[in-house]
Structure 1
Amino acid sequence: MNTPAPTPTVILEADKSTGEQPMELFIVDEHTENYLTLQAGGDFDRGMLTGVLAGIGGIGGIALGLFSFLQSGDLKGLSIMLAIALPLSVLPFLWETLRPLPLPILFNRRTREVYFDHDGELFHTPWDGIIAVANEFQLVGAQIGSIQNASLEIRVWKFEKPETALMVSLGAPFGKSLALQKGFWEYIRSYMNNGPYFDEHGNHSESDAFVKSQLAVRFKISDSFKHTLARIKQPKKDAGGKNYLSGSDFAMLILEPMFYPMARIQEFTYRIAKRRSRNRWPSLVTERLKANGPTTRLVDLECEKGEGAE
């Protein structure tokens, strides 16, 4: 595989528009009034093992046990299935929720700064004056052809040790164009400067409609049945309710409800793991995420400490 030389670097700034419409690229984990978090470090599929084992094996086993009990009136079959189903549900749930998730990249709108955890060490940078480095490049190979990619990175400094810096990628670059990354930077910029809610032009809005429309694009397995119903609504209307289902639609209407418990359990497990992982942030960060928390920036604390040392 050959990697051509990258195109010239594009510098994006906090106070200058990119000219692109704000766009969320399936990276935002939480969009709240006080802070915005971006998934980092993988584990996006956390909870899937619990969803499969508990949603299919666990619930399926209990259903079979209940069916056996209703047929025979004997509790033995139900007891056996419960003995199998409960470990299938509880053990993977504990394993996936007790293991900490990688902490996200965190944009604090109240204090106007960014936090990042690297191997348990706190890094940060003020939002005002921040720049992002965007770079578009192509991967070329005989099997894959030419794939366009674009990276988007910011620089952060270790708390109380500003001589140590990192370049942090705001999401994986693969399959993204420079325009997409500019749109994503515009999403972050609109949140920090005009948020917490904004319209399609990045201007402040009292309504969260545009933000919700962006976040709703992310595919969730638990929503697939709802989307299928919405998709066949028009064909049903056009056909007057007769012979409006295609073979694939019929299959989806049968299969998707079967996978719904698995998807909901996976999402629930991920939420629990994420909630537990929040406790890994230092108190300096968590107290600044509260609506009534301090608004001093970490860089201000560093300056105060430096002056005190003198």
Structure 2
Amino acid sequence: MELFIIDEHTENYLSLQVGGESNRGSLSGLAGWVLIGGLGVGVYSLLQTAEPTGLYIMLGICLPMFLAPFLWETLRPLPLPILFNRRTREVYFDHDGELFHTPWDSITAVANEFQLIGPQIGSIRNASLEIRVSKFEEPETALMISLGAPFGKSLALQKGFWEYLRSYMNNGPYFDEHGNHSESDVFIKSQLAVRFKMSDSFKNTLAQIKQAKKEAGGRNYLSGSDVAMLILEPMFYPWARIQERTYNIAKRRSRNRWPSLVTERLKANGPTTRLVDLE
């Protein structure tokens, strides 16, 4: 199942990333990492000379370098996600500020498998998964929207992803490995944990080293790459955390761009009427 574009899986709705903005915050993370390093140099200068001049200089240089990309990445709106609303059983999509939707119970989905063939790339298998949505109050205007990029995916994988969405809408919000309803979110968390996060790299490396130690039975189990990771990953941890924090801030700010017809239906006590009923 392709879960990496799932941004939020809640009791009321599920959202899918669009527009390839998962790396939003990388510049802020890099600048924040430089800021921390600069402050470290400034503090070292302060301890050596007992004069705050060096600290002020590093702060004056590095702080603007961080604030500029941070403000640019948080104030620039993220593309709105594709929303699957369990409460009203419908799907929402924003296209250039215009609201599109479709009822889940009559949704149309299409999966296609195709290959790209070239002398340099050889043959690459691809599979697309698309759904049909209609413009609010203009149902004659329709779009086919892609649920994630098709490149490098198989038809079986896209079917598995569709089954995840179907299980959420029909049996959710939580379900087990067979798609049946479950009161526990353990299986869902295990699936969403597959999504790679840079801030988890050090924790994953420690787990791999612990497993290697167990399998080695007391022999030397540390490789050169393990030693390098143990040194480098803690150094780059602030970069990853700042990047993730910046992305979350930008995501929260972007939610306000949904029309009130959508936002009120995402709430636990919001209306349950569908947009098609209002039409």
Structure 1 residue 92: Cα displacement: 1.0
Return the TM-score normalized by structure 2.
0.98
Aligned pair partner of 2:48 in 49, 57, 71: 71
Aligned pair partner of 2:19 in 20, 41, 65: 41
What residue in structure 1 maps to residue 195 of structure 2? Answer: 218
Structure 1 residue 232: Cα displacement: 0.6
Does residue 195 in structure 1 map to residue 169 in structure 2? no
Matches within 5 A, 1:239-254: 239=216, 243-254=220-231
The answer to whether the 8 A contact 2:2-2:158 is kept is no
The answer to whether the 8 A contact 2:94-2:100 is kept is yes
Aligned-partner Cα distance in 1 for 2:12–2:3 = 20
Aligned pair partner of 1:154 in 124, 131, 148: 131
- For 1:35, give the aligned amino acid: Y
Structure 1 residue 141: Cα displacement: 0.7
Structure 1 residue 24: Cα displacement: 3.6
Aligned-partner Cα distance in 2 for 1:206–1:194 = 11
Identical residues among aligned pairs (%): 81
The answer to whether the 8 A contact 1:198-1:208 is kept is yes
Return the TM-score normalized by structure 1.
0.88
What residue in structure 2 maps to residue 4 of structure 1? Answer: none
Question: How many residue pairs get matched?
Answer: 279
The answer to whether the 8 A contact 1:24-1:187 is kept is no
What residue in structure 2 maps to residue 110 of structure 1? Answer: 87
Structure 1 residue 129: Cα displacement: 1.8
Aligned structure 1 segments of 4 or more residues deviating by more than 6 angstroms: none
Aligned-partner Cα distance in 2 for 1:259–1:110 = 41
**Structure 2 runs not aligned, ≥5 long:** none
The answer to whether the 8 A contact 1:134-1:151 is kept is yes
Aligned-partner Cα distance in 1 for 2:98–2:85 = 18
User: What is the CA deviation profile of residues 156-199 of structure 1, one whole-angstrom value per residue up to 9, with x for unaligned ones?
Assistant: 00000111100000000001000000000000000000000001
- For 1:246, give the aligned amino acid: S
User: What is the CA deviation profile of residues 127-155 of structure 1, one whole-angstrom value per residue up to 9, with x for unaligned ones?
Assistant: 00212100000000111110000000000
Structure 1 residue 209: Cα displacement: 1.1
Aligned-partner Cα distance in 2 for 1:157–1:197 = 28
What residue in structure 2 maps to residue 8 of structure 1? Answer: none
The answer to whether the 8 A contact 1:24-1:214 is kept is no
**Structure 1 runs not aligned, ≥5 long:** 1-22, 303-310
